[in-house]
Amino acid sequence: MEILVSYDVSTETAAGRRRLRRVAKICQGFGQRVQKSVFECSLDDKQYARLEHQLTREIDKEVDSLRIYRLREPREQYIHSFGVDNRTDFDGPLIL
């Protein structure tokens, strides 16, 4: 499944800044950053459950915001990108 993760973590305190770094690091482990606090991910059900679990454990529900959207597929039909677009083709060959 294709999902979009967006978050807004309060950085008014040192603890908030640490939370922000940890949330970003979790997201980087599952997908690709497309904006500062937005990630696109291609996951199976098990990976999705793990991502959601890790993120909901990390955020402070009193001051932070986390949204996870399931994207309609095929994504090329529903996503229109303007400007810089460094999208990764998750289905294409991996070139190192």
The string of pLDDT tens digits covering residues 74-96 is: 767 766 667 766 666 656 665 55
Residue 10 domain-assigned?
Answer: yes
Residue 69 domain-assigned?
Answer: yes
Six-digit token string for 68: 């996870």
Six-digit token string for 92: 């294409």
pLDDT of residue 92: 62
Global pTM reads 0.79
DSSP H or E segment with residue 51:
helix 45-58
- 62: CATH: 3.30.70.240
Of 9, 41, 47, 19, which Cα lies nearest the Cα of 28? 41
Give mean pLDDT, residues 6-22: 96
Residue 92 domain-assigned?
Answer: no
Residue 12 domain-assigned?
Answer: yes
Could you list the residue range(s) of the whole structural domain that residue 62 is in? 2-75
Give mean pLDDT, residues 5-27: 97
Residue 93 domain-assigned?
Answer: no
Residue 94 domain-assigned?
Answer: no
Share of the chain above pLDDT 70, in %: 79
pLDDT of residue 93: 61
Six-digit token string for 69: 């959207």
pLDDT of residue 95: 59
Instruction: Please tell me the total count of domains within the chain.
Output: 1
pLDDT of residue 12: 95
Per-chain mean pLDDT for the chain: 87
